[in-house]
Structure 1
Amino acid sequence: MHHAETVFLGGPVATMDPVGSFTDAVAVREGRIVATGRAEVTELVSGGTEVVDLRGRLLLPGLQDAHVHPLYGGLQRIRCDLTDSESEAECLRRVADYVAANPGSGWILGGGWEMGLFSGGCPSRSLLDEVTGDRPALLINEDQHGAWVNSTALRLSGVDRDTPEPPGGRIERDERGRPAGTLHENAVDLVGRHVPPIPAAEYVQALLEGQRHLHEQGVTAWHDAILGAYLGYPDPLGYYRELDDAELLTGRVTGSLWWDRTRGTEQIPELIDRRALAAGRRLGAHSVKIMLDGVCENFTAAMLRPYLHGHGSGISYMAPDELAEAVRALDAVGFSVHFHAVGDLAVRQALDAVQAARRANGTTGNRHQIAHLQVVHPADVTRFAELGIVANLQAEWAHNDTAMTELTAPYLGEQRYRRQYPFRSLRDSGALLAAGSDWPVSEAAPMRAVHVAVNRSEPGDEAPPLLPEQAVDLSDALAATTIGSARAHLLDGHTGSITPGKCADLTVLDTNPFELPRSEIGYTGVELTMIGGRVVHSADG
């Protein structure tokens, strides 16, 4: 008999199999799950077997993040990090502290600031000037759709009152028409392209930090939603390949190759070549990311009807005929398409494009998906299941915060407000749900996102929940974070559930959230993360 190398006993095991069953033990050998259930597992224990006592804590398949940017998140953690700042004053204090701790004359880079902390959602260059002096500063905002820059950065980049609005971007201006300090969408590149080259070693360090942080949160596999240059960030693909070739890539990584909206289908041969380049030991890229719109807070999410108070209908980055042709051509050569769609017009355009591809190509087996899904027209909810499109949810966004109550709700109106983040409706219609953090847009904390999916409010938040009728059950939220995300990215053949024969990718929580009050789910931590039978994170150090 071949004995197990590691067994888990003494606690509940959520298998995430098709019927959502539980068991009470798991055995691991040579990186694979070899048995489940106490009777069978205990027979595989020998003197050399490591026995992990769960002590009533929940064991899950390894958590998977279906939409994340670990390079961006890692860079933010090692640069001027404004994540979780609670006020304008705290943001400025953190910048001042970073400047003091990192003297010199170089660019101040970082980000993570939240629009809701500043008047009108747009911080000014004069505020930043006070704490940065003559050093240029470029700080990406929390949602990765804009940046806060100071006067020196604008001057060095030649951006002034005469600079025209770039296609797909907007410059916030003061009453005299001068750049006020906030740049939206493609306008960020007006400054970002003037940042001096960053040493490759810093990007490798950042990606390793991003990986470490994800493992700390129980994540064993993830989908990097942009493999390409974006918003001043470099293409992560080469750095992933470097880590994978050196066997330093411990997570299982899939990614979406970036679709250049300034070009057409002539770029597809290059994408096919990049897909081949991405094929590695723990790396693959079988999908293409198409950005269809922006975000609601700066009125760039594409809407079927205009925002209230004269803010237009948002930005559609691709014409419907161009989008349909791109999706048809990508689908025909085996690419899944990963859409960014926040507004109801963008969501409909994505659905229409996939429908047209299905008609042209038949059922190809590609797993197209739409991420973000903030505003979805009721007529479009059932189309996800009908077309086999994955609903990729960023659950942590579905709560009432300042960005929602001050920068979004007043401009959507009551009807569209009630159509936001329709998780329950999508689930009930039969759509496959996957879950992603979009870190560093929001925290890389799957159990916090699970909490919001179940409660429609953040842990400890006293604000009213956001449309509580759209909450999902804990089991559904955990399924989206495990087997649902695995299915979305073609990893379900060997991960996503605790099934004999699958990889031993496992996450042990520090409690059993099924025994907690719903209001406490978000405080659940991670005790241990295992990938292929190897422990990559332990709370014990």
Structure 2
Amino acid sequence: MAAAELILTNGRFYTVDRARPWVEVVGIADGRIVALGSESEVRSAQPGARIIDLGGRMAMPGIVDVHNHVLMGGTSDLFELRFSGDATVAEICALVRGAAEKAAPGQWIMGAQWGADAIAELNTTEALAQLDAAALGHPVCLRDETAHNRWVNSEAMRLAGIDETSADPEMGSFGRDPKTGKLTGMMIESAAGIVERVAANFMFGIAGDELFALRENYRSAHVRPDYVKIFLDGVPGAKTAAFHDAYLEDPIHGCCFRGATMVTYPELIRWLGKCEAQNLSVKIHCAGDAAVTQALDAIDVVRGFNGPTGLIHHIAHASYIAPDDIARFAELGVAADLSPMIWFPTTFLEGHKEAMGTERAERFWPNADLLKAGALLAGGSDWPVIPNPDPWSGIEGLVTRQNPSGAFPGVSLWAEQALDLATAVEVFTLNSAKAIGLDKEIGSLAIGKSADIIVLSQNIFDVPADAIADTQVLTTYFEGREVYSR
């Protein structure tokens, strides 16, 4: 047994190793785990080590989040208005007015996040008039909870050069009042970027080959620029996700509208091949089942040309999947990036019901079917799409399929797709580490791995399932160093 510098003792350590799930003591040296076992096995063999007594608390490997937007999330938390997805027009406008009264002349008012089910309510000239009045002349840009769409005021549209004669941009649209045909400030998909580039062009940098060429400039021990993100479609609530079956008929899209992908099938194959040639894995945003099919088809073609690879591509969200495609995740070695944390009833889902009908909308997140088919399920927050990246609500939701916040009480979403707690923990630890190629380093407590450990306020295996979201992290160890204490 290697000599430990630090021993964490009197704990209930969950290792995420099914063969030996629990140990009492962890020994650490040079940032690595060097000993695991019982008090008698470890303490007696390490007479010179520093001892920290956990007081019987549960501890486990650090959470691995495979999907977040750090720049957007940090900016949003530090500088923007925050409001819940169920906020009314009046409540949103009251917050905007409060910010406008304090803002410097000409300052943009940025905020988030209105509900994905609120597009129809906001897409009116009456709602725009309320926002204009509240803004006191300031430009306003408010994101929805998917982060794909924006609601902006008239001053923001003026600064962005958008007026009644403006044609819809490719892969997006300017919202218009169904009654009058006038602009409402609703910016769908690529239209949102037109305004946000004017408001915050620090958010839009270089991309594609130009960015690839710089990747090694930023590589370090803890920064590994080895992934590429591709947006293949949009979101169901705005009818910009690509589906095999049509959305419900409406005055704007008419009959038989199925959405469309933003990247053609040949283009996707070309980019996947280019990325594999540079040892880059690809995370592909797919919100609709037709987008999932196209992504899997493209990966299949590239596999046919390139043969086996150690690269793991991700389908991000993997929320609506055609039944015949479920087995293909494992067959092609594709990870299902289960993010954001909405595998339970939410306003997201209410927006989907309005777009495609209740029966189809509720066939959302087939997690158990993916697991049975052997797919690698990985967990992420999609912060700040989910305002709080805390994983415990996501873990509880995987297990209960009910909303941990208390919203939609007693309602379960496709309950037979629930996962057991041990599997849910694996999704957010070892599975996620595998998905990003770091499972030899992190994701479980094992000899030789990085000593990334969290100490919890409660043993999540001892509490009712609907109390898992109440869990708090008391202490965080990163590479054996205490980096956080509540």
* TM-score, normalising length: structure 2: 0.91
Q: Tell me the CA shift for residue 18 of structure 1.
A: 5.6
Q: Is 1:372 matched up with 2:376?
A: no
Q: Tell me the CA shift for residue 155 of structure 1.
A: 1.5
Aligned to 1:437: 381
Q: Tell me the CA shift for residue 27 of structure 1.
A: 1.4
1:514 to 461, 479, 485: 461
* Cα offsets for 1:224-248 (capped at 9, x unmatched): xxxxxxxxx244xxxxxxxxxxxxx
CA contact (8 A) 1:368 1:389 kept: yes
Aligned to 1:277: 217
CA contact (8 A) 2:33 2:448 kept: yes
SS of structure 2 residue aligned to 1:116? coil
SS of structure 1 residue aligned to 2:73? helix
Deviates more, 1:385-394 or 1:97-106: 97-106
Give the letter for the 2:298 counterpart.
Answer: A
Are residues 537 and 44 of structure 1, via their aligned partners in 2, closer, same or farther at CA, if it must alter by over 3 Å?
A: farther
Aligned to 2:418: 471
SS of structure 1 residue aligned to 2:213? helix
Q: Is 1:457 matched up with 2:402?
A: yes
Aligned-partner Cα distance in 2 for 1:158–1:414:
38
* Cα offsets for 1:336-374 (capped at 9, x unmatched): 111100100000011111111111000011111101012
Aligned to 2:274: 329
Aligned-partner Cα distance in 1 for 2:129–2:390:
34
Aligned to 2:81: 81
Counting only pairs closer than 5 Å after superposition, residues 16-35 of structure 1 correspond to structure 2 as 16-17=16-17, 19=19, 21-35=21-35
Counting only pairs closer than 5 Å after superposition, residues 412-427 of structure 1 correspond to structure 2 as 412-413=356-357, 416-427=360-371
Aligned-partner Cα distance in 1 for 2:236–2:36:
46
Aligned-partner Cα distance in 1 for 2:213–2:192:
29
Aligned-partner Cα distance in 1 for 2:63–2:280:
24
Structure 2 gap ranges (5+): none
* TM-score, normalising length: structure 1: 0.83
Q: Tell me the CA shift for residue 46 of structure 1.
A: 4.8
SS of structure 2 residue aligned to 1:409? helix
CA contact (8 A) 1:4 1:28 kept: yes
Counting only pairs closer than 5 Å after superposition, residues 392-411 of structure 1 correspond to structure 2 as 392-394=337-339, 396-405=341-350, 407-411=351-355
Count residues with an aligned counterpart: 473
Identity %: 34
Q: Tell me the CA shift for residue 484 of structure 1.
A: 0.8
Q: Tell me the CA shift for residue 9 of structure 1.
A: 2.2
2:327 to 379, 382, 389: 382
Deviates more, 1:327-336 or 1:27-36: 327-336
Give the letter for the 1:107 counterpart.
Answer: W
Aligned to 1:308: 248
Q: Is 1:130 matched up with 2:133?
A: yes
Give the letter for the 1:81 counterpart.
Answer: L
Are residues 6 and 102 of structure 1, via their aligned partners in 2, closer, same or farther at CA, if it must alter by over 3 Å?
A: farther
Aligned to 1:351: 296
Q: RMSD over aligned Cα, in angstroms? A: 2.2
SS of structure 2 residue aligned to 1:139? strand
Aligned to 1:246: none
Aligned to 1:92: 93
CA contact (8 A) 1:57 1:511 kept: yes
SS of structure 2 residue aligned to 1:68? coil
Aligned-partner Cα distance in 2 for 1:92–1:121:
12
Aligned to 1:319: 264
SS of structure 2 residue aligned to 1:536? strand
Q: Is 1:286 matched up with 2:289?
A: no
Q: Is 1:187 matched up with 2:191?
A: yes
Q: Tell me the CA shift for residue 2 of structure 1.
A: 7.2
CA contact (8 A) 2:7 2:49 kept: no
Give the letter for the 1:287 counterpart.
Answer: Y
1:480 to 389, 409, 427: 427
Structure 1 gap ranges (5+): 199-232, 236-256, 260-266
Aligned to 2:475: 528
Q: Tell me the CA shift for residue 40 of structure 1.
A: 3.1
Give the letter for the 1:347 counterpart.
Answer: V
Q: Tell me the CA shift for residue 13 of structure 1.
A: 1.2
* Cα offsets for 1:23-61 (capped at 9, x unmatched): 1211112211111112333135556614131x3332111
Aligned to 2:167: 164
Aligned to 1:492: 439
* Cα offsets for 1:115-171 (capped at 9, x unmatched): 335644647432321221111111222211011211111112221110000001111
Aligned-partner Cα distance in 2 for 1:100–1:475:
50
Are residues 101 and 533 of structure 1, via their aligned partners in 2, closer, same or farther at CA, if it must alter by over 3 Å?
A: farther
CA contact (8 A) 1:172 1:183 kept: yes
SS of structure 1 residue aligned to 2:437? coil
Aligned-partner Cα distance in 1 for 2:65–2:313:
16
Aligned to 1:212: none
